[in-house]
Structure formats: C-alpha cells, structure tokens
Amino acid sequence: MDRERSTYSVQAVVKAFDLLETLAAEDSSPTVPILAQKLELSRNKVFRLLATLEDKGLVERDDTSGMYRLGLCAFEMAQHILKSASVIRLAHPIMEELARKHDEAIYITVMNNDEVLFLDMVDSFQQIKTIPLVGRRFPFFTNAAGKAIKAMSSSDVIEKFGKRRTYKNGIVDMKQLERELDDIRKRGVAVDIGGFGEGICAVAVAIRDYAGKVVGALTLLAPSFRMLQDRLELEIIPSMLAGAEELSLKFGYAKIHA
C-alpha cells in the first residue's frame, strides 16, 4: 500500500511539472479542457493539480475567463535560479585563481532568509576536516560568510534582526554581534575560527552588483594552524579583497558606489 501511495505521489509530481511546462510554453492562457487534452488527463485531475499549484502561488486563474497562467511565485523561483547560476558562472574562475594561489578551499556564498547558503566551491590539494558545505545553510551570525554579507549590506542589522533571539545553540549576544559587524564594516573582511567546525578558519569578503547591493561573499576555509597572523594580514586578506573587487566589477559594480 505504501509503495502504491509513493508511486502515485511521484506520478502526481511529474504531472504537476508537465502542467507547469505546458503553461510556460503556451502563448495564450489555456483553460482546464485545453490542458486536459494536451496532458491526456481527465479534467478532474487537471483541476486538482491546478488547485494545488494555485494554493502555492505557482499558477493563477482568471476568474472571468477561467484561463490559467503561471503565477508570481513561479517567476520569483525562476529569478532565484537564474541569479544563483549567474553568481556561480561569474565567480568560479576567480575562485579557481584564489584556490590555486593559496592552495586553500574557496567558496561562493549567498544570503537567504538570515541564513548563509553555500552555492559552489573550488577545493584545495591540502585536506581540510570539515563537513561538505555546498548546499548547506547556516545562521548568518554563526560564521564569517554570513557576518560579512550582513555587515556590508546594512548598518542597522541588529535593529532589523531583533534585540534578543534564542536558537539551538543558545542566546545570541546581540551587543557582541553588533561590535563584530561594525569591525567587519570598517575592515571590509570577516575572519573567524570555529564557525564552520573546530579548528577551521574562515575569511569572507562581500561581493556587490551594479547597484552597490551585496549579492554574496567569497569565503576561504582553511585549518587555523595554516592561518598564521602574518599570512592572514599580508597574503590572504589582501588577495581575497582583490578577488571580491574583481568579481564585483564583473557584476557591474564601480568604486563610485563606495
């Protein structure tokens, strides 16, 4: 019975995707009978699929004509996908250059709902003991990447974030976080140890687009024993800042914004 239910659920998902593809390919907004004919489904099944997708904002129905079209959520989702793909495409060559230069792992990270998301990486030849990060999310206040993005995005992060929040790892020290963000804002770089695992050092620098908006961060991860102060200050940080500036220029950012 469970297997049959699972098979039915998968088939329903496939049909839902077929329905969305049909709506995307149509020049005009089709009605239920037209969609049923194109998909070779009963009108009742098509109507139920449309009702579910409509609840999620993926399709919209014109009450007067009964015609359906893609909803705003579908377009928003497409924009997020295109944006992520664009970030990866532009960032990867610079990430490769930084990884070769320092022989350390380089990541591209973005912010999503107060969480930092790892989109892509270029690994180093040297081993680093950390969990696989691509596709993972972390609260922004726990790591250098999230703090760099937040600090360089706005000067009123704390006010927007709230005076006091409790998470799995305990209560966030908002005053300490505010001091950290202010320091990152002044230096243009975030450095932490332990945010992504014990003994792991992270160096993160923000990337901006043509409007000066922060779109993500280049993030270097390495064992803390390789990140001696002189190497950090004289080699890693200047190089990461230069990489972020080069990538920002690819996004159309000009120093006039600074």
CATH number, domain with residue 201:
3.30.450.40
Residue 127: what pLDDT? 56
Residue 1: what pLDDT? 42
Q: What are the tens digits of pLDDT across the range 79-138?
A: 566 556 677 788 889 999 999 999 999 999 888 778 888 888 888 766 555 556 777 788
Residue 170: what pLDDT? 47
Q: Are residues 86 and 65 in the same domain?
A: no
162 band by pLDDT with thresholds 50, 70 and 90:
low
Q: Are residues 44 and 167 in the same domain?
A: no
Q: How many of the other CB atoms lie within 10 Å of CB of 58?
A: 21
Instruction: Assess if residue 75 is contained within a domain.
Output: no
Q: Are residues 7 and 117 in the same domain?
A: no
Mean pLDDT, to the nearest integer, of 135-157?
82
Q: Are residues 223 and 115 in the same domain?
A: yes
Q: Are residues 176 and 236 in the same domain?
A: yes
> Where does a domain end: 45, 70, 95?
70
CATH number, domain with residue 15:
1.10.10.10
Q: Are residues 60 and 145 in the same domain?
A: no
Smallest CA-to-CA distance from 203 within 145, 124, 117 is with 145
> Where does a domain end: 29, 46, 70?
70
Q: Are residues 114 and 60 in the same domain?
A: no
159 band by pLDDT with thresholds 50, 70 and 90:
low
Q: Are residues 9 and 88 in the same domain?
A: no
Distance CA 20, CA 14 (A): 10
Give the range of the structural domain holding residue 34, as residue numbers without chain letter: 2-70
Q: What are the tens digits of pLDDT across the range 2-47?
A: 444 445 456 778 888 888 888 877 666 788 998 888 888 898 998 9
Total of domains in the chain: 2
Q: Is the dihedral of CA 117, 183, 181, 156 positive or negative?
A: negative
Residue 128: what pLDDT? 56
Instruction: Assess if residue 93 is contained within a domain.
Output: yes
Smallest CA-to-CA distance from 114 within 177, 176, 69 is with 177
Q: What are the tens digits of pLDDT across the range 196-253?
A: 888 889 999 999 988 888 889 999 998 889 988 999 899 999 999 999 999 999 888 8
